[in-house]
Chain A
């Protein structure tokens, strides 16, 4: 998108760093020794169940929450002791928080006025940012005259007007309708492409948003970081059970580890030998085989490729865009989804299903 002479923060180092950050409220630990780095120009999504600490982590970066221990870094600056207005951040919240007593243009110009920017720059930057989010013609309206999606775009423009080093987004799309949410996701992706130096920390409970938008994802639970990594890798080879179950739906089959062959390894499910990807950390004994429902295919009975399982059909559901089939494999439940079948198998039928070894990963069986 033309028009932005200088990228946000191009002259300043960016990126976020948490080192051993612990936050406690009234005795309850909200963040437990969080160590996480967000690279400059990256979008990192923090997801997790409610109460996991993701919002606390965001607010710690913003400066509204003081860590009990640990340091927080934005760019090359340790900001732990700095108040929010000195941290060079932009923030977008769930209910937009547009100042109702100011027009749209005044809202967007607020940060620049607070920093005493010259009037010419304010006017120019405001126009630029409004155009960037496609809201230039609404400059004179009041927030209450705008729809939810429009308000959120203004909130984003307002945060970007000050060219922050870091953009913090706290569930920015949860208050919007599903359709608008999809549109906004596209807009946010486009914005990130146009501002490659802007580091973005995105908190959400919606995995689709995380998977669509983020370069890397961090999964949290009970104040601790449970898993983090590039989105694709985290999805395809989750490091632990919680990550596997939280990010997308998955099948976890109890199998027995039976030796490695370099890139792949063997596991036993009853009498069947299957091949999966070798995990980065060596495992042995009883482990879990992680298979995504969309990576399992119904095989015609005559063909027998490697990694085939025989299973009994328990339930078949047609969901419009997909068929969802639940099977029984040696006493364990297995679910697969496929593009709609013209001739779905009937419950009780015995079928063969197969999957590729590259799509199967191993996870340690955790107790408790």
Chain B
């Protein structure tokens, strides 16, 4: 509706196509191609192979997939619990302290991930709690970074919930816990699922804090990808990257299939 002439419109679409193509499609296509490449010395790979994927799925990279999935699942589950709890509890707090607490719950997402890792390293390499070099510290790092997003998502969902539902529920005799379980949470289910998806994706791709705190026995895929590319095995790095992207997207698609239609929009 902005551009009326056909040439104008074609021009705009061409511009969009070029920009989108060069900036988004090309890099992704290249990674995909590289993951299948045997040797690549010119414009196109000299031959395609599945060997990269085979090498990657066996051995330590296969473990890294497991590590990333477990870390992602644990961290996002705990973050969902903690963020939802915080979002619901905050509704009962008076407006002035509530604004401050809201800000506080978001702060971990504002701070560089490397600093979060550094903080955990410094704090838990000394008494009273020693977590240095354990799996737990990686999970905690992811947890801290993503809990702000689950909180934000759920808080947004709760804010959009019409108050009448909970009020009518209360007038019918529902005590707070009953109301929470049977009315509030089911009605914000879409936001809970979205929060879980987002947190899981963020955990899968997290590098900054993980690089600071990971122990040798708990290597996530991003760290593994860096290690591969750093020592020159770029095609395997590309293959592992594709595995990372595919597994993230698979979980996201799976979560998007969770039935949420009946909930209020």
- Chain A residue numbers with a CB within 8 Å of B189 are 101
Distance A64 CA – B170 CA, assembled complex (angstroms): 9
- Chain A residue numbers with a CB within 8 Å of B178 are 114
- Chain A residue numbers with a CB within 8 Å of B171 are 62-63, 84-85, 87, 89-91, 159, 168
A338 is an interface residue with CB less than 8 A from chain B: no
User: Contacts A100-B187, A114-B175 given: A84-B170 contact, CB under 8 Å?
Assistant: yes
Closest B residue to A93 by CB, please name it: B164
Distance A147 CA – B35 CA, assembled complex (angstroms): 55
Distance A168 CA – B170 CA, assembled complex (angstroms): 13
Q: Say yes or no: B186 contacts A101, CB within 8 Å.
A: yes
User: Contacts A100-B187, A100-B262, A101-B262 given: A114-B164 contact, CB under 8 Å?
Assistant: no
User: Contacts A97-B164, A100-B187 given: A142-B174 contact, CB under 8 Å?
Assistant: no
B252 is an interface residue with CB less than 8 A from chain A: no
Closest A residue to B264 by CB, please name it: A100
Distance A17 CA – B171 CA, assembled complex (angstroms): 18
Interface residue count on the B side (C-beta < 8 Å): 22
Distance A115 CA – B264 CA, assembled complex (angstroms): 24
A164-176 toward B: CB 8 Å interface, digit per residue (1/0)? 0000100000000
User: Contacts A93-B168, A97-B162, A97-B168 given: A85-B187 contact, CB under 8 Å?
Assistant: no
Interface residue count on the A side (C-beta < 8 Å): 27
- Chain A residue numbers with a CB within 8 Å of B169 are 99, 110, 114
A100-121 toward B: CB 8 Å interface, digit per residue (1/0)? 1100000000110111000000
- Contact residue among B172, B173, B187 (Cβ-Cβ distance under 8 Å from A101): B187
A243 is an interface residue with CB less than 8 A from chain B: no
- Contact residue among A85, A100, A115, A162 (Cβ-Cβ distance under 8 Å from B170): A85
Q: Say yes or no: A142 contacts B170, CB within 8 Å.
A: no
A158 is an interface residue with CB less than 8 A from chain B: yes
Distance A64 CA – B169 CA, assembled complex (angstroms): 12
- Chain B residue numbers with a CB within 8 Å of A88 are 173
Residues of A within 8 A of B (CB): 62-64, 83-85, 87-91, 93, 95, 97, 99-101, 110-111, 113-115, 142, 158-159, 162, 168
17 contacts between A and B (CB under 8 A): A62-B171, A64-B167, A85-B171, A85-B173, A89-B171, A91-B167, A93-B168, A97-B165, A99-B169, A100-B187, A100-B262, A101-B187, A110-B174, A113-B182, A114-B174, A114-B179, A142-B262
Return the 5 tightest CB-CB contacts between A and B, nearest first: A111-B172, A97-B164, A114-B174, A91-B171, A101-B262
> 11 additional contacts, CB 8 Å, given A111-B174, A168-B171?
A62-B171, A84-B170, A90-B172, A91-B168, A91-B171, A93-B164, A97-B168, A99-B183, A100-B262, A113-B182, A114-B169
